[in-house]
A and B are shown apart, each in its own frame.
Chain A
Amino acid sequence: MINTFVGNLGHFAVIVSFVSSLVTAFAYYQYIKATELEKANWRRFSRSFFYIHAVASVTVAFALFEIIYNHRFEYFYAYSHSSKALPVHYMISSFWEGQEGAFILWIFWNVMLGLVLIHTNKFWEGPVMIVFSLVQAFLVSMILGVVIGDLKIGSSPFILLRDMMDAPIFEMNPDFVPEDGTGLNPLLQNIWMVIHPPTLFLGYASTLVPFAFLMGGLATKKYTEWVRPALPWAQFSAMILGMGIIMGAYWAYVTLNFGGYWNWDPVENAVYVPWLIMVAAIHTMITFKKSSTALKSSIVLVIASFVLVLYATFLVRSGVLGDSSVHSFTDLGLSGQLLIYMLFFLFVAIFLAAKNWKHIPTSEKEASVYSREFWIFIGATTLALMAFQVILPTSIPVWNALVESFGGISNLAPPADQIGFYTKFQLWFAVAVALLTAVGQFFWWNKMDSKALREALVTPYVISVVLSAIIIITGKVFDITYIIVVLAGTFTIVANATILIRLLKKSNFKLAGGSLAHIGLGMVLIGVMFSSGYSEVISYNMSGLTYSNSWEDEMNKEHVLLWINKPTQIKDYTAIYRGRQKKVVGVPGYVNVNLIESTGNVNEAIALEDIVKNGKTYFKKGDTLKIVLEENDYFQIDYYQNDELKFTLNPMSQFNSSMGLISSPDSKRYLTKDLYTFVSAINDFEDPEWKEDETFEVSPGEQFFIADFVTQFEGAEVLKEIDGMQLNDGDIAVRANLSVMDYDVEKKLQPVFIIRGNQVGKIPAIDNELGVKVELENILPEQNKFSFKVNRYQKDYVVLKAILKPQINILWIGTIIMLIGFTVAIYRRYDEFSKMRDKGLEGS
């Protein structure tokens, strides 16, 4: 039976949320304008409406999750984003797989941030919450799902399947509910995908806070005062965005098979660019707080970071990227609405800034080369140029669309070698930024002239040169570009560590945020240089096959074919593919598919043999067991060195009906490197095309060859009973026992021959791994021979790619240190703000 209540509740809450956000904006506007006497009333009124908005927004989220959690497949959203087989934590991923869910997540975070701001600000509550409520109105309109004439506003997640699809079934039975949903994109079935999107959207949402303070400051003519409350939030935003980027990179590294953590895909760039700008904004804001310069650049950067987030959303979700990105979303018809949203805030911001531009204080005197303002300004500029260099080519599809909308033709395409193209610039910019952080930190904490600077830098410089030399020699870094990267990275680390130690001696840990974050940056730089610059494909094909075209031999075959059970050399290892496995609930590790058989129910199977791991029996033969996501296959690859098993990797792949082969890597992790492997092609074992018949006539005890396999016909026996078949009196059933040797594995094949009356039945023995089907065709008693019909397909195989990634742990540790640095900085700046607020000096 169709449950329309939840959907109606959700849709109603969306409308309440939309209306209440508009009322809140209006009420806060009245609050600002009201006289002192009326202020309290307006404030109470505004707040109540924001609370209504908050409750409505949370209800929307709750209603959508209820639909997914209770498998209400009568709703399009549940039908197309989840399925019964999903465990609860992946249902959470289903929630934001669709765009509507993502918008709800964004709305939810804005509500949370709004609540925090209401209760931590006094003076700023009014202006900031007006901006918040307007943003919320735009966001909620994305899921409004209201149609007025031809105008469609928003796409509602609460649409019933029958209203979405023109399937004939709904004409026969309008109350039809599908048995199961189409499931969650398997790439998102990863624990990092449960926490990565909320982090990213919190990052997106938090860019609104500094922007709202800025808009409030401009509107209320508090041109300088907005910086203090905005700064900790800008740092918070940069930290969360940074965390989102890192989680995304880590997710890509452990789930996607493009061979790394960063691909310069438009979706990645779309977060990287606002992050760079936000980091630049933080630096100019800090400079302003210290010396009253760089206010105008702070204003431009804060506006840019907020608008770039909207632009990123537009790029990713409007369908404009089309085929230039692997993860662009389908167009829900929201592109126009997104564009209006972005342009509205862009114009309001530009208008307010332009109107007040001449009132914004600037410092007249030119910054000296020996001042921190100068160096920080150069640093912020470098960050902005980095962002510019990335956003420009990412926008090529937008440019094409723009030219085409004016009737022109543009055939510009993104650079063919994206990694090479971006690295060329970003690498040198990153080196520049690293050096600037080192020098900048010294300027920050000391008054400098040329002599003092030289004295201050000489020790860190010498130490870092020595350290670099050690890294270069032990890491065999002989490329001049990379040598420079190592120098810049270590110099940053050493110089900032010097500052850090000095600060800690004075026990001012609160002030250490900057140097910690910069140390992290240096480590990230070195980690990226090693893990990307020196990543080495080791799965070169050494099959010795030659091709018809000689040029083809010169191409590097970066994948290696592993036949089942056949030892194959992969650089220093001998790898053996041992078959497919499944993950079973309650059993550690994986279980070979030969030991279980599906019952036909979702995620359920029967044990064909006892399932034993490490001497412990987990399931007995015949037990029913639960599989974790039955579509997932884990390919067991054993790695040997000198005939000794070193380790086993189990890269995953899922054959997905809508997305093809989804492949997730598995890595062997060492302290100083990762051995990263993934499956790039697998056997089509579902539906083999058997080759033509071959017939063998063999006597018991004789040996023969099926394909390359030495096969021993051990003998035949008369059966009393057969699994799954009733034997009558007078029936004769004969089973032949064949033992097939495949390298070190012995397989039993037991075809059966049945005579009932004058009819003959045959039960073939099939081995998918060997790709062999054997039928006992006939028994020739006079010659004491058995006739076997053999069909072959091909042995099971996987095609594997293996890459060594050195020093990737330096990268991960660097990112963690950077995040800690941000946290310390946020604490310090928030502390400053709250002390001033408590003195009643918030607006001054």
Chain B
Amino acid sequence: MKKGHIIGLVIIGIAILIIVSMLGDASTYESFATAKEMKSNGNDKAIHVVGQLKKSADGNVEGIQVNEDKTSFYFMMVDNEGTVQQVYYNEPVPTDFSRAEQVVVIGSYKNEDLFVADKILMKCPSKYQETEVSTAGM
């Protein structure tokens, strides 16, 4: 076997290792129901859940509880299948959190009742859609 072939094989080997490791470490988008199932099967891997904040009938966000030292909080989230779930986040409330149109939580179930988010991504109303031309200049 020529040296070139060995090197080629090593490169292919590393490339396969990279792909396998990516597939292994890649997270998935789940609903709260499937996430809970994963937890009960002993799978603690962090997953993504997409949803909205729970809103009351009059459209206000409800269920945000900030801990006393303001460095962590709980909130209620509804995933795209309609499941309501309490989520804990060990960071201060991002300002404008209650205005988020869409929330993605990355984390896993702590126990049956509580989902712990390691990271939250928010989609706020886009600059383009939201702006209404102010009539102040008339």
Contact = CB atoms under 8 A, between A and B. Distances in A.
Scoring B71, B91, B110, B125 by chain A CB atoms within 10 A of each residue's CB, the highest score goes to B71
Contacts of A161: 133
Nearest to B92: A681
Contacts of A323: 50, 102, 104, 121, 123
Given A80-B128, A176-B137, A178-B134, A557 B71 contact: yes
A182 B127 contact: yes
B9 interface: no
Given A80-B128, A80-B131, A167-B133, A660 B95 contact: yes
A416 B69 contact: no
A300 interface: no
A182 B127 CA distance: 9
Given A323-B102, A381-B11, A385-B15, A393 B71 contact: no
Interface in B71-102: 71-72, 88, 90-97, 99, 102
B94 A660 contact: yes
Interface in A392-431: 392-393, 396, 411-417, 421, 424-425
A415 B27 contact: yes
Contacts of B27: 412-416
A648 to B, nearest CB: 22
A388 interface: yes
A658 B129 CA distance: 10
B95 A655 contact: yes
Contacts of B57: none
B25 interface: yes
A559 B21 contact: no
A790 B78 CA distance: 40
B33 interface: no
Contacts of A658: 124-125, 127, 130-131
Contacts of B99: 660
Contacts of A421: 25
A664 B118 CA distance: 22
Given A555-B90, A559-B91, A392 B19 contact: yes
B68 interface: yes
Contacts of A392: 18-19, 22
Contacts of B45: 416
A655 B70 CA distance: 18
Interface string A561-592: 10000000000000000000000000000000
B61 to A, nearest CB: 14
Contacts of B30: 411
Contacts of A559: 70-71, 91-92
A330 B128 contact: yes
B126 interface: yes
A425 B107 CA distance: 23
Contacts of A551: 110
B48 A413 contact: yes
A425 B25 CA distance: 12
Contacts, number: 151
Interface stretch (A243-251, A504-512, A539-547, A820-828): A539-547
Contacts of A388: 15, 18
Contacts of A655: 95
Nearest to B119: A416
Contacts of B102: 323
A182 B131 contact: yes
A681 to B, nearest CB: 4
Given A385-B11, A557-B69, A681 B22 contact: no
Contact of A799 (B26, B70, B119): B70
A541 to B, nearest CB: 6
B47 interface: yes
A552 B132 contact: no
A167 B127 contact: no
Contacts of A182: 127, 131
Contacts of B131: 80, 182, 658
B116 to A, nearest CB: 9
A112 B93 CA distance: 47
B70 A177 contact: no
A176 B133 CA distance: 10
B134 A396 contact: no
Nearest to A540: B71
A323 B48 CA distance: 11
B23 to A, nearest CB: 8
A392 B29 CA distance: 18
Interface in B1-58: 2-4, 7, 11, 14-15, 18-19, 21-22, 25-30, 45-48, 50
A178 B126 CA distance: 20
A366 B3 contact: yes
A560 interface: yes
A681 B118 CA distance: 18
Nearest to A682: B95
A179 interface: yes
A167 B131 CA distance: 10
B60 interface: no
A680 B70 CA distance: 10
Scoring B27, B68, B137 by chain A CB atoms within 10 A of each residue's CB, the highest score goes to B27
A31 interface: no
A813 interface: no
Contacts of A389: 18, 22
A799 B22 CA distance: 36
Scoring A167, A388, A411, A560 by chain B CB atoms within 10 A of each residue's CB, the highest score goes to A411
Contacts of A541: 69, 71
A551 B111 CA distance: 11
B98 to A, nearest CB: 10
B47 A557 contact: no
Contact of B118 (A178, A330, A416, A660): A416
Interface string A75-89: 000001000000000
B11 to A, nearest CB: 6
A333 to B, nearest CB: 13
Nearest to A547: B67
Contact of A413 (B21, B28, B67, B133): B28
B99 to A, nearest CB: 7
A680 B69 contact: no
Nearest to A659: B124
A176 B127 CA distance: 21
Contacts of A424: 21
Contacts of B134: 178-180
A169 B133 contact: yes
Contacts of B125: 658
Contact of B25 (A179, A415, A561, A681): A415
Contacts of A682: 95
Contacts of A381: 7, 11
A180 B131 CA distance: 12
Contact of A659 (B3, B96, B107): B96
Given A178-B134, A559-B71, A661-B95, A413 B110 contact: no
A685 B23 CA distance: 47
B47 A416 contact: yes
Given A165-B133, A366-B3, A385-B11, A396 B90 contact: no
28 contacts: A80-B128, A167-B132, A176-B137, A178-B134, A179-B136, A182-B131, A326-B121, A392-B22, A411-B30, A412-B28, A413-B27, A414-B26, A541-B69, A545-B67, A555-B90, A556-B90, A557-B90, A559-B70, A559-B71, A560-B71, A561-B69, A561-B71, A658-B125, A660-B95, A660-B99, A681-B70, A681-B92, A799-B92
Given A551-B110, A660-B95, 14 more contacts: A182-B127, A323-B102, A381-B7, A381-B11, A389-B18, A412-B29, A541-B69, A545-B69, A557-B71, A558-B71, A558-B90, A559-B70, A559-B91, A680-B92
Interface of A: 80, 161, 165, 167, 169, 173, 176-180, 182, 323-324, 326, 330, 366, 369, 378, 381, 385, 388-389, 392-393, 396, 411-417, 421, 424-425, 541, 543, 545, 547, 551-552, 555-561, 655, 658-661, 680-682, 797, 799
6 smallest A-B Cβ distances: which pairs?
A660-B96, A661-B95, A416-B46, A179-B137, A681-B92, A413-B27
